[in-house]
Each structure stands twice: as structure tokens, then as C-alpha cells.
Amino acid sequence: MRDRNESLLWMYERMVEIRHYEETMAAVYLEGKLPPKIQKGLAFDIGSGPVPGEMHLSAGQEPVAVGVCAHLKKEDTVVGTHRPHHFAIAKGVPLQAMTAEMFGKAAGLGKGKGGHMHLFDPENRFSCSGIIGASLPPACGAGLAAKKLGRDWVAVAFFGEGAANQGSFHESLNLAALWKLPVLFVCEDNYWAISVPKPEATSIPKVSDRAAAYGMPGIHVANNDAVEVFEAAGPAIERARRGQGPSLLEVRTDRYLGHFQGDAEVYRPKDEVSKLRANDPIPRLAAQLKAQGLMDDARRAQIDARAKGRVDEAYAYARAAEYPAPADALADLFV
């Protein structure tokens, strides 16, 4: 495992990678979707362009993914959400196959059958789901498997604050606590459940307070800060690894982009995003690393270039890759 300083540098590089991935996707996604290429009267066509379908980007939410995944091993399971790229990148899912999947190419993780909300990488024990609240039960199962196989693997379920009002949240917390499963439940509170703000949907201010109802520790991180998440997640994951059961970690994070690309965000105050961006966790971590003597400007430029280069290569790879043959749609229902 990495030591603390190595972890902080690793987190910084992953955050740069994630941010560049999402910003690139925001641009690529618009290709072919805007007038004048398409029908009159349409502002935008979701089904056109090289990356069609819905697109949920995680810019701003990087600290949650990297702060937790910095503690994970390859054998640990991560189950993500419909907004999964930051988790996937932090868990080590290969960028090329992941990007090819979003381009609908045969070289994609799911041979083009899943798309951006359904990324499956058994090698790195990563999966996600487009259904809100659906990440928690399979994470319990992965934890259960680890326990039965006598391994020290842990499982992490990420979900949004909106998902904390789904039955699956409550069922899973109870089950994991009852069976002392090695699971970390991570609530990514970006305040907005599409257009409904947390206070209008959730009966108490902190989801992490609900941990008490299930007899597990509840931890709240109030700032969208990678180091704070890292510090909070470490003991909870270690606790799970030692066989002492699950924890619930909630992180207040920021969604810089719309719920999905093309979201006009009529529900959000006009200046909210610029205020959130003033507190960008990436330059903040860079400044911390610099102050600690871990990363000078030259090193930073080098890391940034390396991370962005990997992302650019992945997009080039995905763009050039072949589409599956149409009749491949009939394969892979069963193994």
C-alpha cells in the first residue's frame, strides 16, 4: 500500500484525470447534438453524436471518489451510481475500455451493451447502476462473499443523498449491520436530487445520523475536500477490514454540471455554480501538497500532463474503435 504522502499525490493525479475526463466528455457529448445538423425546433438531440443517451458527469465530486478509493485494494469491490466516472477512474477501471463503452464500441467494457451508466469491470471489481439506491444491496453481497471466503476484502457502495430515501438504503444498512459485513456506505451529498434540494426530500439534515438507527458509526464530512474524505474513510475501511462491521460516511460535495448534460438547470440559483467552483478541491489540494513540499510547480505540471495525456489517449482510442456488428445484440444474454 501507499504511504500517506503517496496517497495524497495519487489522489491529486486521479482528481486531475477525472476532471479532465469529465470536461472532455462534456465537449465530446455535444458533438452532433446541436443545430443546424438536426431537425428544426430542437435545441439539442440526445440520441445524436458519437456519445448518445443520457450523460451524468461528476466534475466537482472528485474528492468523494478519490478519498475513499485511495484506501482500497484491487480485490475490494466498488459499486457506483448512475454518475459513475469518478468512482470508476478512482477504482482503476481502464480508461480506454471504459471510454469505448460510452462510444458504444465493441472494445468497450460491455462490448457496447451497457453505456455510461452500466460499467462492469470484474477485473477491478467495479460495477454501477442507473437505478437510484441500487448500489447498496450488491455491495452487501460482495462483503458477504468476502466474509464467507475468509478474505479481508471490503465493499464500498456509493450513492447520492437522494438514494438515502429509497427502501434499499434502509434494508441494506440493517442487513450489513446485522451480519457485520465489511461494507462502507458512502453517501455523496451533492444537495440536488436532479432538481429537488435535500431539505425538500430528506427528513433530517444529515443522512449520516441515520447510521445510529442501524447501530453503526455515522461519519459526516462537511467540506468537499479530498484530504478530509481520506482521513474519514480510512478508519471506517480499516474497521470493516478487521471484521468489525459497516459504517456510513456522508460527504457534502458539489455538482458543477447539470444533473445530465443538456439540463437547463432552471431549479438552481444562477450564481450557485460559480460560488461552488471558487472552492474547487483540485487547486486546494495542489496548494496543500505544495505547502507540504510534496509537489512543486514543475512536478504539478508533469502530473497534470501525464493524467490528461491518459485521458486524451482514451478518447482517441474510443473514437477510432469499431462498432459492434448489429447482430451482436443477440449475444451475451447468458454465459
Partner 1 sequence: MSESRTLTMAQAISEAIAQEMERDPTVFVMGEDIGRYGGIFGATGGLLDKFGKDRIMDTPISETAFIGAATGAAAAGMRPIAELMFVDFFGVCMDQIYNHLAKNTYMAGGNIRLPVVLMTAVGGGYNDAAQHSQCLFATFAHMPGLKVVVPSNAYDAKGLMIQAIRDDNPVMFMFHKGIMGLPWMAYFEGSTTEVPQAPYTVPFGEARTVREGRDLTIVTLSQMVHKAAQAAAALERDGIDVEVIDLRTLVPLDRKAVLKSVAKTGRLLVADEDYLSFGLSGEIAAIVAENLDTVQLRAPVKRLAVPDVPIPYSRPLERFVIPQVDSIVEAARALCSAPAVQAVPA
Mask 222-261, x = binds partner 1 (CB under 8 A)? ----------------------------------------
Of 104, 108, 160, 162, which one interacts with partner 1 (CB under 8 A)?
108
Q: Which is nearer to partner 1, 37 or 151 (CB)?
A: 151
State yes or no: residue 93 binds partner 1 (CB under 8 A).
Answer: no
Of 57, 79, 95, 216, which one interacts with partner 1 (CB under 8 A)?
79
208, 249 Cβ separation under 8 angstroms = yes
| Region 5-34 residues binding partner 1, contact defined as CB under 8 A | none
- Sequence-distant (≥ 6) Cβ neighbours of residue 54 within 8 angstroms: 46, 116, 117, 260
Residue 195 to residue 268: CA distance in whole angstroms: 8
Q: Which is nearer to partner 1, 113 or 252 (CB)?
A: 113
State yes or no: residue 36 binds partner 1 (CB under 8 A).
Answer: no
Q: Which is nearer to partner 1, 211 or 229 (CB)?
A: 211
DSSP one-letter string for 72-90: --TTSEEEE-SS-HHHHHH
- 3-class SS shares of the chain: helix, strand, coil, % to 5: 45, 10, 45
Residue 180 to residue 131: CA distance in whole angstroms: 25
User: Least separation, in Å, of the C-beta of 288 and partner 1?
Assistant: 36
State yes or no: residue 269 binds partner 1 (CB under 8 A).
Answer: no
Q: Which three cell numbers stand for residue 200?
A: 425538500
For the chain, the first-to-last Cα distance in angstroms comes to 35
| Region 128-147 residues binding partner 1, contact defined as CB under 8 A | 129, 131, 134, 136-146
**3-state DSSP of 116-176:** CCCCCEHHHCEEECCCCCCCHHHHHHHHHHHHHHCCCCCEEEEEEHHHHHCHHHHHHHHHH
Q: Which is nearer to partner 1, 88 or 142 (CB)?
A: 142
Angle between helices 62-69 and 281-291 (to 10 degrees): 50
Query: Could you give the 3-state DSSP secondary structure of residue 14?
Result: helix
| Region 305-334 residues binding partner 1, contact defined as CB under 8 A | 331-334
Mask 171-210, x = binds partner 1 (CB under 8 A)? xx-xx--x--------------------------------
Site size with partner 1, rule: CB under 8 A? 44
For the chain, what is the total number of helices (H) and then of strands (E)?
10, 8
State yes or no: residue 92 binds partner 1 (CB under 8 A).
Answer: no
User: Least separation, in Å, of the C-beta of 79 and partner 1?
Assistant: 7
User: Least separation, in Å, of the C-beta of 204 and partner 1?
Assistant: 22
List residues binding partner 1 (CB under 8 A).
77, 79, 108-114, 118, 120, 122, 125, 127, 129, 131, 134, 136-146, 148-149, 153, 155, 167-168, 171-172, 174-175, 178, 331-335
